[in-house]
Amino acid sequence: MKGLITIDLKFLNTTGVIATYCIKHPSATILVETGPASTLPILLKSLKQNGVDPDAIDAVLLTHIHLDHAGAAWYFADRGAKIYVHPSGIKHLKDPSKLWESAKRIYKKEMETLWGEMRPISANKIQSVRHKENVKIGKLKFKALHTPGHANHHIAWQIEKIAFSGDVGGVKIGNGPVYPPCPPPDINVEAWRSSIRLLKERRLEKLYLTHFGEINNPKEHLIELEGRLNNISRWVEPYVKNGINPKQTSLEFNAFMDRQMAAFGIKGKQLKQYELANPSWMSLVGLKRYWTKKNKG
């Protein structure tokens, strides 16, 4: 797409982990994702290097409100940008305290290093979007595709024949395999399959992943993603059903993931990139929660 800039946020001084996309058009300048506030200095510097005034961003399209995707949205809202988000994400942008405290229980003293800060956004700077709603910004038109599975409040943003797929399109680093990021609390395998089906039906020519970059074969990519989602979720199911000791489950899941990565030749820096973008332990926690809820229901 003309005017599309991929910005590597160099999360924790590591390339190829979190991307932000800037669309520089004569009628409007738009960000898709902002990344966390911890990488805001890199984002601002990169925008300026690409001839974009950070204070002149017209709109920010968020795929969802997790900190690695939306943590710095407040900065651009403070400077006049309209923030577009799923209706269920609005309350967390207006008051991020609950989201922040939830993350703090997981990351504890690492919060500042990982994510920086997340400030409230004024209600008049937030715009909710319905499923398949067309959003016009300048002369550009985006379609909001509600795509739950990774998160209930997830949106994939389509413009022309490309889509910015956030996390519902998976994590793929370089020439490695695609994996589904499955952190708590919203993982829903059935909903994710439906979202994958929806994206395939759009007959897209390209996907742009937040983790990380351009995908030129969307159909094959999504088929691979669905297969791996099924594989990993089914691996976790009997451990939950049979009440196997959490420590043993964790050790065996880590070994399972290590074998998977080794089979694809993933090691060194690339392995680090995968773990930063999609920590294995978080996927285990998310899938255990999914199966626990499903077995009760």
Rounded to whole angstroms, the Cα distance separating 93 from 105 reads 19
Nearest to 191, CA basis, from 202, 179, 182: 182
Rounded to whole angstroms, the Cα distance separating 187 from 179 reads 14
* Residues 66, 67, 68: CA angle, nearest 5 degrees: 95
% pLDDT > 90, the chain: 94
Determine if the peptide bond prior to 87 is cis (ω within 30°): no
* Residues 70, 72, 76: CA angle, nearest 5 degrees: 110
Instruction: Identify the pLDDT of residue 2.
Output: 86
Q: Is 94 helix (H, G, I), strand (E, B) or coil?
A: helix
Rounded to whole angstroms, the Cα distance separating 207 from 217 reads 8
Mean pLDDT of 33-55: 97
Instruction: Identify the pLDDT of residue 108.
Output: 85
- The set of residues, in sequence order, having a beta carbon less than 8 Å from that of 121 and lying 6+ positions away, is 73, 74, 77, 83, 93, 94
* CA dist 286 → 46, 112, 180 (Å): 34, 23, 11
Instruction: Identify the pLDDT of residue 297.
Output: 63
Confidence check: pLDDT of 26 > 80 = yes
| Polymer length in residues for the chain | 297
Encoded amino acid at 101, one letter = E
Instruction: Identify the pLDDT of residue 295.
Output: 84
Q: How many C-alpha atoms does 222 have within 13 Å on its Cβ side?
A: 25
Mean pLDDT of 40-51: 98
Share the mean pLDDT of the chain.
96
> Would you tell me how many other CB atoms lie within 10 Å of the CB of residue 266?
21
Confidence check: pLDDT of 18 > 70 = yes
Cross-strand pairs, 142: 135
Nearest to 77, CA basis, from 139, 36, 25, 119: 119
pLDDT by residue (tens digit) across 135-150?
A: 999 999 999 999 999 9
112 burial (CB, 10 Å; 0-12 / 13-18 / 19+) is exposed
Mean pLDDT of 253-274: 95
Rounded to whole angstroms, the Cα distance separating 218 from 206 reads 6
pLDDT by residue (tens digit) across 61-73?
A: 999 999 999 999 9
Rounded to whole angstroms, the Cα distance separating 57 from 98 reads 27
What letter would DSSP give residue 55?
A: G
The model's pTM is 0.96
Hey, what domains does the chain have and what are their CATH numbers? Answer: 4-296 (3.60.15.10)
Nearest to 249, CA basis, from 234, 259, 239: 239
**What φ, ψ does residue 131 adopt, rounded to 5°?**
-60, 130
Nearest to 166, CA basis, from 12, 19, 28: 19
Terminal Cα-to-Cα distance of the chain (whole angstroms): 45
